[in-house]
Amino acid sequence: MAAPHYFFAVPMENHVKEYLDAVCKESKSMFPFKRWVHREDFHVTLAFLGNVSPEMLQRAQEKLAQVTSTTAPFSLATDRVGIFGKQDSPRILWKGVKHSSPLCTLQQKVNDAMKAAEFYLDERPFRPHITMARKWIGDRPFSLVRLENHLQPIVKEETFVVKEVVLYETLPQQIPKYKVKNRFHLIGEDPVR
């Protein structure tokens, strides 16, 4: 059995999960990907910790608690659909989130805190997204334009409030595959929706 991996992420509110699940279900038959994400696994990753010792995991949580204690809740909205990988054979299909200074600031604070705790993090630029599917397996080339046209009747912007950061454990043999290990509430006044 593989060792567990951990990451910090922004979870989705239920109405966003329902919407994303509907988008996935609407897309599955015409757009074959190897794995579609379970509705309970939708999230925006802030920092991937990997396989770490219990001591390092405890240190990461202490550092994250310091970050969330000084961060107020904020609103976030979904955006366009996109891909990572080759245009005709993507490895990831995702739903984006609109640019958010509070989200970028939160991710930078989390990143800095984890580096201070001696974690080695991905150095690529932060590209916030919600993974919907992995690994194109279609017998013809994938077309993002075709997918966008197909989804046009149900595409909408979903707005939600980021109130917490979650520590997830990855359980690759299970569905859903991410288990909540801890929740860190953002401290501050609720934003106006």
pLDDT in tens, 112-161: 999 998 888 888 899 999 999 999 999 999 999 999 999 988 888 999 99
Query: Is 38 among the catalytic positions?
Result: no
- Mean of the pLDDT values across residues 51-63? 94
Residue 7 located in a structural domain = no
Above 50 in pLDDT, residue 108? yes
| Residue 18, domain extent | 14-159+181-185
CA dist 166 and 148 (Å) reads 31
Residue 135 located in a structural domain = yes
Residue 172 located in a structural domain = no
Residue 153 located in a structural domain = yes
Catalytic residue among 5, 38, 99, 129: 129
CA dist 93 and 81 (Å) reads 7
Residue 191 located in a structural domain = no
Above 80 in pLDDT, residue 188? no
* pLDDT, position 192: 44
Residue 91 located in a structural domain = yes
Query: Is 43 among the catalytic positions?
Result: yes
**Pick from 32, 30, 37, 10: nearest CA to 150:** 30
Above 90 in pLDDT, residue 170? yes
Above 90 in pLDDT, residue 96? yes
Q: With the CA atoms of 53, 59, 63 and 65 taken in that order, what torsion angle do they form, in degrees rounded to the nearest 10?
A: 90
* pLDDT, position 153: 84
Catalytic residue among 5, 43, 99, 150: 43
Average pLDDT, the chain: 93
CATH number of the domain that residue 153 is part of: 3.90.1140.10
Residue 49 located in a structural domain = yes
49 vs 189, which has greater pLDDT? 49
72: which residues sit within 8 A by CB, 6+ positions away? 102, 186, 187, 188, 189, 191
Q: How many domains does the chain have?
A: 1
CA dist 129 and 144 (Å) reads 16
